[in-house]
Amino acid sequence: QASVGDISKTFRAYLIIFPDSESRLIELAHALFTNRYETVRGALKERIPSTDLLAMLRGLWEDATAIDEVISEAALPAFSLETTRDIIKQHIATAFLHLQNEISDVLVTHSTSNEKLEESQLQTAMEKSKIKVSQGCIDLLQEFRHLIDGNTELLVKLKDLIIDWVQEGFQDFFQKLDGHFHLLSGRSTGFSQESSTVDFVQIDKVPTVLVLMLAQLCVFIEQTTIPKVTEDLADSFSGGGARSSEYGPPFVPGEICRLYRSSGEKFLQHYINIKTQKISKLLNKRFSTPVWLKHKEPREVNMFVDLLLLEFNGVVSEVKQILPGLIRRHRHSDSTGSTTSSRSNPMREDMLNRSNTNRSRSQFLENHLAKLFEQKMEIFTKLEYTQ
């Protein structure tokens, strides 16, 4: 509990009275500052503001400098600089880890309860996830900016290293976040986009809405978050250079953008695979269970149709809420397309003719099916599903 001033006076007196006590005093000084720095490391287990961390490190640096004036052989400033270097690096890594966990919590919390959410609430959950990613990165940049804004001797010595750590941290953060997204979706990074083989037990455990949210979030990160982070890093964290040139630049936005573009496509394909296999499983179970030769007509068709329509409506609801921009762009392109007359476009005219032919065939089939449903209404389903 003694102050550093009192400790300095005590050390000075011991050196005068006991000239041979220098080695013992060096051991005591190192033990003292090792314990104090361990206390700071313990505080890093909880997310603490950079300003609070700097206040603790600045105080320790001043104390080490004061003791060094008495017993310079202990080399406390060099010891403090090395320890501070490790602590700041750990602080930056811990901050990124906390942000990744917060993003994961937002996604999992809302997606696992999607069946109870109204349509507007699911869309709100998607927006909250986007805000958590973008605002979380902005807050981290603001926190890290405190680490290089100080003009103390300690921060000046570590400035280039801190800049490199921040840039490397964002590169590593986005790569690990992408890997974590794949784990949340129930698929590995080696999952083939063309492959549709997914274990049914695994599918049942994965909230399908979470997979679709991950696809949309990847697009948001690629198009919005990465450019913003790149701009802020260029403004506030340019320079560095402590990193060896053979490793290349610490932050490569183009590489991260390609990573999330690819992941977004894979998540969307994964969502389609899950939904189609759920429907296939439903169809297969319904039509493979009865022995049709022993039955004059199918049983419980109304229940099967209701389940099938419920699954289709679920897909429509999820896509409308999580990918609203896709639907708006599609409608916008339909209403404000090319002003060229369709008559002057042979390809368009051919497509229209084919569409009309298919529509006629479809109408012909629907009319005959409608008659069948009207005759067997008590067997099949409700009146609202006959067309």
Q: Within a 10 A sphere around the Cβ of 108, how many other Cβ atoms?
A: 13
The CA distance from 186 to 224, in Å, is 26
- DSSP sequence for 292-325: GGG-SS-SSHHHHHHHHHHHHHHHHHHHHHH-HH
Q: Which amino acid is at 273?
A: N
pLDDT for 273 equals: 86
Domain ranges of the chain: 1-74, 91-337, 343-387
The residue count of the chain comes to 387
Mean pLDDT in runs of 10 for the chain (387 residues)? 66 71 83 91 88 91 86 87 94 94 86 56 83 94 89 84 93 94 75 39 64 91 94 86 63 94 91 84 69 56 70 78 58 44 51 63 64 52 49
Structure tokens of 232?
A: 């802020």
- DSSP sequence for 86-147: HHHHHHHHHHHHHHHHHHHHHHHHHHTTGGGS-HHHHHHHHHHHHHHHHHHHHHHHHHHHHH
Q: How far apart are the first and last CA of the chain?
A: 85
pLDDT for 135 equals: 94
Q: Within a 10 A sphere around the Cβ of 176, how many other Cβ atoms?
A: 13
pLDDT for 13 equals: 76
Q: Which amino acid is at 188?
A: S
pLDDT for 331 equals: 43
Q: Which amino acid is at 88?
A: I
